[in-house]
Chains A and B, each alone.
Chain A
Amino acid sequence: MNAPAAGGEGHGRAGATDGVAIRAHGLTKKFGDLVAVDHVDLEVPSKRVYGFLGPNGSGKSTTIRMLCGLLTPSEGEIEVLGLRIPEQAEELRRHIGYMTQKFSLFEDLTVRENLEFLAAIQGVEKSRTKGRIDELVDQFHFKDRQKQLAGTLSGGQKQRLALACAVIHEPELLFLDEPTSAVDPESRRDFWEKLFDLADIGTTLLVSTHLMDEAERCHNLAILDFGKIVANGTPDELTGKLEGCTLLVEAPDPRRVQRTLVAVPGVLGVAQVGTALRVLIAATDASADHAAATRQRIDDALAKAGQKAEVALTPPNLEDVFVAATRSDRTRGDGDKSVERAA
């Protein structure tokens, strides 16, 4: 595990042993009284896209910053690419790319100047620099915009440029902190194509997001809430665990039905989707009995209120997983943390 770091600059493998790129144990970060990250255990497989899903303030950025050595953990152990962090953070920096949440390139430099600057800073070999930049310009569709100031690019273009700069030295591991939260769906799809291309050539990607459609694309997923990992697995595993817990309720007056259903014990959340309601019911033991009992209560409540509705089982989606994971350990009162749904 303590594989010595490769000495060379740039592309030398630091040693992602046994197929695990990141390993963290009991990772905790406190800012004064606030516990931003609370005993997080993490294992990120290499050459995969790993997602952090969580609402704003759930500790995603803080975790990423600790993993790349920008913040010192209050407690816990981190090993990234076989390097101990924060002790060996300097060594790690040659092997990672980091795309910040806020656009952090130089707005008063042109597209090409930004790439040139990063190439020099990241130690891309001089003889390869020009070729590598041309390659990225081509790949990220900046052919006609090389001389445009980065500050004048659109949101989607900025994100593309940021990604191009983050991978200029072909890092083994790429951290992306909410890379597409300010980007339209079209650009987002395009952006994710690029991410999968990177995973294909062997890059490990850690992506934080609060967007469900992004989370669905990840190979593996950890759901964070109040600094804790409340669920993890592949998207299919996560939704599979929730089988039989999501109901689709169609009613002529969904708003009123919603009010009725929210009051029913065992109902975790009711969200209106068009004219229908998605109702998530608790299944803490994943027991069919429990779910059936709740369903019975729903029928009773509707009958009592004299409201007509058709209730049917529906396959759960990731949003249901998210709501189930974050609601179950919270009182309903403060559970109004909205999760933005993609377009």
Chain B
Amino acid sequence: MKFRRLWAIVVKELRQLRRDRISAAMIIGIPVIQLTLFGYAINTNVRGLHAGIADQANTAGSRALIMDMLATDVVEPVAKVETPQQLMDMIRRGKISVGIAIPPDFERRRFEGREAVQVLVDGSDTAVQNAVIQLAQAPVNSGAPDLRAPATSTPPTGQVSVVSFYNPERRSAVNIVPGLIGVILTMTMVLFTGIAIVRERERGNMELLIATPLTSAELMIGKVLPYIAIGFIQTSVVLALGIFLFKVPILGSLFDVYLAAGMLILANLSLGLLISTRAQSQFQAMQMSFFVFLPSILLSGFMFPFAGMPKVVQYIAEVLPLTHFLRLIRGVMLRGGSLWELGPDVAALLAFTFVMMTLAILRFRKRLD
């Protein structure tokens, strides 16, 4: 391993990247655009569902109840109709997601303690369904007489109060932003290095390089180093935007955040290199990258809770670097933990990097056959 050759590769990569305007722009562009977009857009706390209201009772009590429901902001009234049948029709046609039907005998039902209001839900979206269940519970908690949505089998949970630690306002951005660091790093890092070596092979540069004294390790490490720096730049962009736009807290130490990011960067880069030694064309490298990328997003716990997945899928998820990073970054940023307390995930990331890097260097042959 000669430092001069290693450095020559690093300089070459940076010069090439500088001339590739679009790729260079994407280094900053991807985190900025994705963070602003997803930070605002991904919201598991549903607001503003279009609702239709059929108040057949039209009493002071029924109007007060509707006002209570609207006050939650979960629904936004878009239509007032006469009958529940009209509500069902509108749901089917996609005009509304929620229908609130109050029967003519509302007051008597309420007095007798029977179901007094029916909330019709478009169940084709589970997120909407969950939101409306909360909605139906709101009046119960506020002390109104027995009332619930008969469309669900969930029993009323009137007396159970949920206290959310660490994110009391239940803002999705707080949960999303640390995860997005991981998602963005996974996407760009795997792809960048996945293409790095294949590109040289496609353009014919590789035949020249392997006929020189350059070693596999010099080439691999020289190609990875610039992207480590790029990974940290992206991490900083996401963190800065997360703090300024979404007021995401960093309860643990900033150093630990960067350390965790650094470990994810290394893990992804080494995976990318392995892909690069395997793929025959840039197109194949992209496909392989996405083969890893999609499960990372869906199974790591970024989008869906890890605990809800079947055991087998959990095992698969344990192999993905993003899964471990999410535990680390949420632990450090949102719970104020330190990396020491999250040892197993640190170990998992390091082990992943070691295995991938070794395989990549072993697989890369200075031969054409």
Question: Which residues on A are within 8 Å of B, measured CB to CB?
Answer: 9, 65, 68-72, 86, 89-90, 93-94, 96, 98, 100, 102-109, 113, 116-118, 120-123, 126, 149
Contact = CB atoms under 8 A, between A and B. Distances in A.
Given A72-B367, A106-B12, A121 B207 contact: no
Query: Which range contains the number of B residues in contact with the other chain?
Result: 20 to 34
A138 B204 CA distance: 27
B8 interface: yes
A71 B213 CA distance: 16
Contacts of B211: 68, 70, 93, 96, 98, 100
A45 to B, nearest CB: 22
Contacts of A96: 211
Given A70-B367, A121-B5, 8 more contacts: A68-B211, A71-B368, A71-B369, A86-B367, A100-B208, A109-B15, A117-B8, A122-B212
Contact of B213 (A86, A90, A106, A113): A90
B232 interface: no
B205 interface: yes
B272 to A, nearest CB: 20
A108 to B, nearest CB: 5
Contacts of A102: 204, 207
A149 B20 CA distance: 13
A108 B207 contact: no
Interface in B7-30: 7-8, 11-12, 15-16, 19-20
Nearest to A65: B368
A102 B8 CA distance: 23
A182 to B, nearest CB: 13
B4 A126 contact: yes
A108 B368 contact: no
B210 interface: yes
B203 interface: yes
Contacts of B212: 93, 118, 121-122
Contacts of B11: 117
25 contacts: A70-B207, A70-B210, A71-B367, A71-B369, A86-B367, A93-B211, A93-B212, A94-B213, A100-B204, A100-B207, A102-B204, A104-B208, A105-B208, A106-B12, A107-B203, A108-B15, A108-B20, A109-B12, A116-B8, A120-B4, A121-B8, A121-B209, A121-B212, A126-B4, A149-B19
Contacts of B368: 65, 70-71
A96 B16 CA distance: 27
B214 interface: yes
Nearest first, the 7 closest Cβ-Cβ pairs linking A and B are: A120-B8, A104-B208, A98-B211, A104-B204, A102-B204, A108-B19, A70-B368
Contacts of B311: none
Interface of B: 2, 4-5, 7-8, 11-12, 15-16, 19-20, 203-214, 366-369
B223 to A, nearest CB: 13
Contacts of A106: 12, 16, 205
Contacts of A104: 203-208
A interface majority secondary structure:
loop
A122 B205 contact: no
Contacts of A89: 366
Contacts of B4: 120, 123, 126
Nearest to A122: B212
Contacts of A108: 15-16, 19-20
A287 B11 CA distance: 65
A246 B15 CA distance: 57
B367 A103 contact: no
Given A72-B367, A106-B16, A121 B214 contact: yes
Nearest to B19: A108
A122 B213 contact: yes
Central interface residue in B19, B207, B211, by most chain A CB within 10 Å: B211
Contacts of A113: 12, 15
A116 B12 CA distance: 10
Contacts of B205: 104-106
B292 to A, nearest CB: 28
B110 to A, nearest CB: 75
A300 B7 CA distance: 75
B54 to A, nearest CB: 66
B29 to A, nearest CB: 20
A103 B11 CA distance: 21
B343 to A, nearest CB: 41
A98 B213 CA distance: 12
Contacts of A90: 213, 366
Contacts of B2: 123
Nearest to A119: B8
A78 B127 CA distance: 69
B16 A109 contact: yes
Contacts of A72: 367, 369
Nearest to B6: A120
A162 to B, nearest CB: 9
Contacts of A109: 12, 15-16
